[in-house]
A and B are shown apart, each in its own frame.
Chain A
Amino acid sequence: MEARFQKYRGKVRLLYMYVREAHPNPQFAPCGSTADMGWSHASADTVSSAERAQRARWLANDFNLNFPWIIDDIDDSMHSDFWPFGFYVGWLVDCDGTVLLHEPWGWATPTTQWCDLPLADFDILEDYLDAYLASPPPCYRGVEKGPNVSIVPAAAHTEGIAGSKWVTDLSIANPSDGEARVSLHLQPWNLEDGETATRELTLAARESIEYHDVLDSVFEASGAATLRVESDSPVVTVSRTFNDTPSGTYGQFMRALPDRYAIGERVVGHLLMLEESTDFRTNIGLTNLGDQTATAEVEFFTADGASLGVKVIKVPGRGGTQKNRIIRGLTSSAVEGVRATVRVLTPGGRIMAYASVIDNQTNDPTYVEPIVNAFQQDLNLPAAAKVRGAGSSNWVTDIVVSNLESTTVTASVERWQRDHSGGYPDTAELVLAPLQSFVIRDVLTTLFATDGAAALTVHGSRGLMAVGRTYNDTPSGSFGHSLPGLDVTGDNLLRGGQVGHLLQLEESGAGGRRTNIGLVNTAALPVEVELKFFNAAGAVLGILDRDLPANGFVQLDRVLRSVSNSSERNARAEVRLISPTGGVVAYATSIDNRTGDPVMQLAWPVEETGEEK
């Protein structure tokens, strides 16, 4: 629901009212909660407003609910005023304090379980709010807010092992029709690498700017650092960190994340598909968003769910750290399909985490973004491959499906072939033991005995997670990109009318990069998608429309050639789901023409992140 109301941020103040527990019983643990959240131990009724505040904080953290909260007192004052007889769950209050509207709780059908009860009719509420904001009363003004903030957890200008040289390219795009003022803050992980510094810039309407080797070119800094981006209107920021060799680059994509992606109290981040073997090594990175030192606990689990051990890591305030080959300190055996959980032990601490899994022969890194508080049950992996390409290339996709539950789970995997025109998918079944991470090498061959390219969906019970890696498997090592397993019921998809952004798009000849864009329709109805391309200066290059059949998957190779006859660098695409319903995953793969190494990014809607004052 929060995703649904994001568009009102800055225009309407949204508040959760936390009141007494009606059913303080483990049977009524919050729907969607998993065993590791511990709600069965916290189901007694609260006896103080402080305890209620704690319960609200748990809810907010467990389910990533980011609007402000107000907590009822222990005399239930708010409950007494708001609830009686009405069964209303939403109240819209005008700018002068007058109640405009109250929204009823929808009633259940006889077959509906209690936790599936429908809510108030939010369509009516949205229609009302849209009409209200189109013609606001004289008392109206918007919410005063702080700057929009997003974080690039790690950027580099440093030398690594075997003569590797790691640098980061950063792109910032202003998708709005007005200027955006941006502050780019450097927060070195190690103060020996340099001091904090800030650079100010102004982006014209729809302009994108790219900084090659941002630490050196903008800050004259070296080492590793966190980059904090503040802006007066929402901007989109992405980065690519890569080993810059004379014969080309091998790298990984990292987007700038809003603060709400941080791991804090009661929040658990999961890092999947980690490996320590002769083929791969794993580094874990932690960035502290707070001013004080924070302590994180990272626990590692084998593919069959057994604990390998715990590492406790201190991260300095506003600093960061990366622990290289961290699994080697826990076991001397080769391990694959390892899952790590990241928790913050310091009260009030907020940390961003990531992993890099690096091929020991090519030094190509694969970025692993944490999955926070997983309770998904329907997942989409947008592009799996088994393709023999030019120059004897051999593209393969491995996936890992993890079961967080303490019971055995049967999951079905569907394969939707690229460019299919309709029909039904091939399906395969997975049986996952409790806490198992199921590693499936070359998934299209192993599960479906086929090749080509396909989108995969995984259906199961809650507590499922999945990620993958698509790579060129060569005799001298592999290089590729990570493949996310997206919760198709969450805010990972582009919904009707929403616009997602793809940055750092390039079509620049033999020494540069090329770009493919993929579109996956997760709905059982056909949808229409529009792609609008901009050059770095913000001029429109062209518009493409694509109709996708139900569950359709297309990939538009070298897509910039369709809208531009010249070389393009740092172009941007806006992906819009024209259809009013459904959901679409859009991605771009950007490929180094010399090495063939790809990175993958997803199209995310631009987000208002400024805190309300």
Chain B
Amino acid sequence: MLRTVLIGGLVVAAVLGAPVAESQVLPGEQVPLYQAVDENGRLVDIADFIDGTPMLFLYTSAT
């Protein structure tokens, strides 16, 4: 099931030439900071998460 959740075949789009930006999130760099929402619509600020706890981001889509 997880295989569903993660990624959803975005590779195919990229391989076929879908436009992509140049930036990447690479080891040794600072994680990008966003103000986003959670699944309940509440504001989430990634900067607030940098509080002494390591984080594991998992890339996810439904289809």
Whole-angstrom distance between the alpha carbons of A8 and B55 in the complex?
11
Segment 49-63 of B: residues with Cβ below 8 Å from A: 49-63
Q: Which residue of A lies closest to B31 (CB)?
A: A93
Whole-angstrom distance between the alpha carbons of A68 and B37 in the complex?
11
Interface-centre pick from B21, B22, B60 (highest chain A CB count, 10 A): B60
Whole-angstrom distance between the alpha carbons of A18 and B59 in the complex?
7
A12 touches B41 (CB 8 A): no
B23 touches A81 (CB 8 A): yes
The verdict on A115 contacting B3 (CB below 8 Å), with A21-B8, A70-B38 known, is: yes
The verdict on A70 contacting B21 (CB below 8 Å), with A31-B3, A87-B11, A119-B2 known, is: no
A59, CB-defined interface residue at 8 Å = yes
B58 touches A59 (CB 8 A): no
A20 touches B31 (CB 8 A): no
A73, CB-defined interface residue at 8 Å = yes
B62 touches A39 (CB 8 A): yes
Whole-angstrom distance between the alpha carbons of A69 and B57 in the complex?
10
Whole-angstrom distance between the alpha carbons of A120 and B2 in the complex?
11
A114 to chain B, nearest CB (A): 6
A93 touches B22 (CB 8 A): no
Residue among B54, B59, B60 making CB contact with A59, cutoff 8 Å: B60
- 0/1 per residue, A48-85, Cβ < 8 Å to B? 01100101111110010101111111000110111111
Residue among B23, B36, B56 making CB contact with A14, cutoff 8 Å: B56
Q: Which residue of A lies closest to B30 (CB)?
A: A97
B28 to chain A, nearest CB (A): 7
B32 to chain A, nearest CB (A): 5
The verdict on A91 contacting B38 (CB below 8 Å), with A21-B62, A22-B10 known, is: no
Residue among B37, B44, B53 making CB contact with A95, cutoff 8 Å: B53
B63 touches A14 (CB 8 A): no
Segment 103-158 of A: residues with Cβ below 8 Å from B: 105, 114-120, 125, 129, 132, 139-143
Q: Which residue of B lies closest to A80 (CB)?
A: B21
A91 touches B9 (CB 8 A): no
Whole-angstrom distance between the alpha carbons of A33 and B5 in the complex?
11
A306 to chain B, nearest CB (A): 30
B17, CB-defined interface residue at 8 Å = no
Segment 1-37 of A: residues with Cβ below 8 Å from B: 1, 5, 8, 11-25, 28-33
Residue among A56, A57, A63, A91 making CB contact with B1, cutoff 8 Å: A63
A71 touches B8 (CB 8 A): no
Q: Which residue of A lies closest to B42 (CB)?
A: A53
Segment 1-20 of B: residues with Cβ below 8 Å from A: 1-14, 20
Segment 329-345 of A: residues with Cβ below 8 Å from B: none
Residue among B30, B41, B59 making CB contact with A19, cutoff 8 Å: B59
A84 touches B61 (CB 8 A): no
Residues of A within 8 A of B32 (CB): 78, 81-82
The verdict on A58 contacting B25 (CB below 8 Å), with A12-B56, A22-B13, A71-B37 known, is: no
Q: Which residue of B lies closest to A86 (CB)?
A: B24
B39 touches A53 (CB 8 A): yes
The verdict on A59 contacting B5 (CB below 8 Å), with A16-B60, A24-B63, A69-B38 known, is: yes
Q: Which residue of B lies closest to A122 (CB)?
A: B2
The verdict on A105 contacting B6 (CB below 8 Å), with A19-B59, A49-B37, A59-B60 known, is: yes
A83 touches B20 (CB 8 A): yes
Residue among A28, A78, A89, A93 making CB contact with B63, cutoff 8 Å: A28
Whole-angstrom distance between the alpha carbons of A30 and B54 in the complex?
29
A46 to chain B, nearest CB (A): 9
Q: Which residue of A lies closest to B5 (CB)?
A: A59
B9 touches A22 (CB 8 A): yes
Q: Which residue of A lies closest to B57 (CB)?
A: A91
Residue among B4, B11, B25, B41 making CB contact with A31, cutoff 8 Å: B4
Residues of B within 8 A of A14 (CB): 55-56, 58
Residues of B within 8 A of A185 (CB): none
A89 touches B6 (CB 8 A): yes
A578, CB-defined interface residue at 8 Å = no
A101, CB-defined interface residue at 8 Å = yes
B16 to chain A, nearest CB (A): 11
Residues of B within 8 A of A91 (CB): 25, 31, 56-57
Whole-angstrom distance between the alpha carbons of A29 and B36 in the complex?
25
Residue among A84, A89, A92 making CB contact with B22, cutoff 8 Å: A84
Residues of B within 8 A of A8 (CB): 56
Residues of A within 8 A of B38 (CB): 53, 68-71
Whole-angstrom distance between the alpha carbons of A96 and B6 in the complex?
26
Residues of B within 8 A of A407 (CB): none
Whole-angstrom distance between the alpha carbons of A453 and B55 in the complex?
48
A555, CB-defined interface residue at 8 Å = no
A250, CB-defined interface residue at 8 Å = no
The verdict on A99 contacting B27 (CB below 8 Å), with A49-B37, A68-B38, A71-B36 known, is: yes
Interface-centre pick from A16, A67, A87, A95 (highest chain B CB count, 10 A): A16
A373 to chain B, nearest CB (A): 10
A420, CB-defined interface residue at 8 Å = no
A30 touches B1 (CB 8 A): yes
Closest 7 CB pairs of A and B: A32-B1, A31-B4, A141-B52, A30-B4, A84-B20, A80-B21, A97-B50
24 contacts between A and B (CB under 8 A): A12-B56, A13-B49, A14-B55, A21-B8, A22-B7, A23-B12, A28-B9, A49-B36, A59-B60, A63-B1, A71-B37, A78-B32, A81-B32, A84-B14, A84-B20, A89-B6, A90-B58, A93-B54, A95-B54, A97-B30, A97-B50, A99-B27, A125-B56, A142-B53
Contacts A24-B63, A39-B63, A101-B27 known; 9 new A-B pairs at CB < 8 A: A12-B56, A17-B59, A20-B61, A43-B63, A71-B38, A83-B14, A91-B56, A95-B50, A139-B52
